[in-house]
Every structure is written in C-alpha cells, then in structure tokens.
Amino acid sequence: MNTFYQKKLMAAAIIATISAQFAGAQELPSQTKKDPIIIRGQKIAAPNVDGESKAGAVSSISDTASLLQDIPGMSLYKAGGLSSLPALHGLADDRLRIQLDGMNLISGCANHMNPPLSYIDPSNVGSIQVLSGIAPVSSAGDSIGGTIKVNAPAPVFAGADQESILKGQSSVFFRSNSRARGANLNATYATPSFSLSYSGAFAKADNYLAAKDFKLNGLSALGSLTSGREVGSSAYQSENHALGFAMRDSDQLLELKLGLQDIPLQGFPNQRMDMTRNRSQQINLHYRQELSWEMLMREFIMSTHNTE
C-alpha cells in the first residue's frame, strides 16, 4: 500500500478513537464537602511497678523479671530460675534498653545467660518503669522495643524533728515444688543528713518436678539420678548483698551503693550449659542537686560573662 494512504488511514483511526472517547465521556459530579473527622486521644502514663505494693510477691520469688509479668504487652522468656528475659511487644534482649539505678547494662555470656535484671534481687527493688516503643533520649539508646528502668529504694532520712531512726524488714519463704527456700533482710539507720542501708537475700532451689513423667529415669548432665518427673538443670542458688551510703543537705544528695552477688550454680533446661561460680561486684555513685530558676539564671549569666 502506498505510504500516503497508510498515513491517511492511521490519522483516521486516531481521530475515530478520540471522538469515541469524547462521545462516551460523562460529566463528573462536583465533589461534595464532607465534615471533618476529629480524632481525640489521651496520653497513657508509663506503667510502673512499686516494690512496696509487691511486698507479698517479692518475698516468695527469686527472679526479678517476674515483677513485670502483669505489665501490658510484656512477656517473659523463661530460662534459669533467676534469669528470665523480658520481651516487650515481641521485642527482647538487645532490642530493649535496661537501666539499673541509671546504669545501662547488657546481658553477659555468649548465650546471654546473665540478663541485667538478674543483677538485683527482687527484695531490693524500689520501683520499675517501663517505656514502650520510642523513649526519651535520656532513657534510651539503640533500643527499638522500649526501655525498662529499675531502681533500688531511695535513701531514707530521719525527719527534721528526729535525731535518728532505725528500721528493718525480713521475710522467709518455702515452696514444696523444687524445695525452693530463701530469706531476705533490709535494714536502715538514718539521721536527718546521713543514711546507711543494707539489703541481703539468699535463695536456693532443687530441680523442679513436672505434673507427670515425661521421660525415662536416668542420669543428668551433672551425673545425678533424675526421675521421670524431674526437670534436670533447673536448680539454682544465689546470694546478694547491697550496702548504701547517702548524705544530703537542703538541695544536694550524694549517694554511694556497693553490691556483691554470688551465684555458685544456676541450671538452664533450655541450653546445653549451666552457670557455675558466677560472681559480680557493682559500684554506683550518684549526685543530684536541685537548682531554682533564679540560681540557674545567675550561673548562666556568670558563665556568659566569663566567656567574653
């Protein structure tokens, strides 16, 4: 076919297509104005665990992470009898920032058998605050799951009308399953400007028993004979000591805490290794000063003047 006629036919086809589209087009209805949608929310305060409100539970448990089991979105990965790993909305381990008295701690051992919450005994916990998801810079870091802040009890001082105070608290517990037993003691001596406190705890348990036999009788990894109901490598023993010194005046507080922990044995049923002869020492020095706006502005002006 001649090139001239090919161009004619192609132009006619394009014109026919465009005409058909215009003929079938309909006028779009004008957009109607819709009422705005208003969404109102209420900020939810960070969950808190008060050690005093859990006094009854604290006297019968040895795993500090168990204090978090009622927090919304929180679950626990059970490991050894003292070392449960908390998980917040499915994120756990290094995806959570755990602070102990302001110190950012991480789990020890290649298998993370020493989580930070195992470094403090439940009887020495004053408060726990859980920040889920995005947290302030002062309370977070490279964590995407959230932050768990654990604090020992604040130092206690005598009142202005008291020369000194002396108080203490002790408890013991026993559980028939695994023959778990333990004791803890807290004591404080304080004046209006000085405070001395001590906290000690001891806990020990044998292998716990299941509801019925789930295996044959035999030797455990440690060479002892276990029954069909006995869960091997679930025994543990721990000893914790904490000594605190604090001094204050009208607007300043200086606090020194010394800690000692000894775990001669902790079995892990979910791993092919146990913890033996684990010892740790902690030193925490804390200073706080309250400044009024007048004092803060005065110091800022003096600092600005000195830099000129």
Type of residue found at 214: F
DSSP 137-149: GGG-SS-SSEEEE
Indicate the residue type of 109: C
The CA–CA distances, whole Å, from 263 to 119, 126, 238, 267, 274 equal 10, 22, 4, 11, 11
Q: How far apart are CA 199 and CA 278, in angstroms?
A: 20
Is the distance from CB of 88 to CB of 96 less than 8 angstroms? yes
Phi and psi at 67, nearest 5°, equal -70, -15
C-alpha to C-alpha distance for 278 and 118, rounded to whole angstroms: 12
CA distances from 11 to 5, 15, 23, 61 (A): 10, 6, 18, 88
Residues 6+ apart with CB under 8 A from 159: 192
Altogether, the residues listed in the chain come to a count of: 308
Say if CB 126 and CB 150 are below 8 A apart: no
Is 288 in a helix, a strand, or coil?
A: strand
Token pair listed for 205: 């348990």
Give me the pLDDT at residue 111, please.
83
Terminus-to-terminus CA distance in the chain, angstroms? 92
Domains and CATH numbers, the chain: 48-216+226-293 (2.170.130.10)
**Can you give the pLDDT at residue 8?**
63
**Which of 44, 252, 17 is closest to 133 using CA atoms?**
44
Residue 308 confidence (pLDDT): 45
pTM here is 0.76
74 vs 76: CA distance, rounded Å: 7
pLDDT, mean of each 10-residue run, the chain (308 residues): 62 65 53 73 65 57 90 90 92 91 88 91 91 82 87 92 93 91 95 96 93 84 79 93 95 94 93 89 91 68 53
How many CA atoms, within 13 angstroms, populate the side-chain half-sphere of residue 240?
A: 25
Q: What sign results for the dihedral spanned by CA atoms 83, 87, 93, 97?
A: negative
Give residues with Cβ within 8 angstroms of 190, minimum separation 6.
155, 156, 157, 158, 164, 165, 196, 197
CA-based radius of gyration for the chain: 32
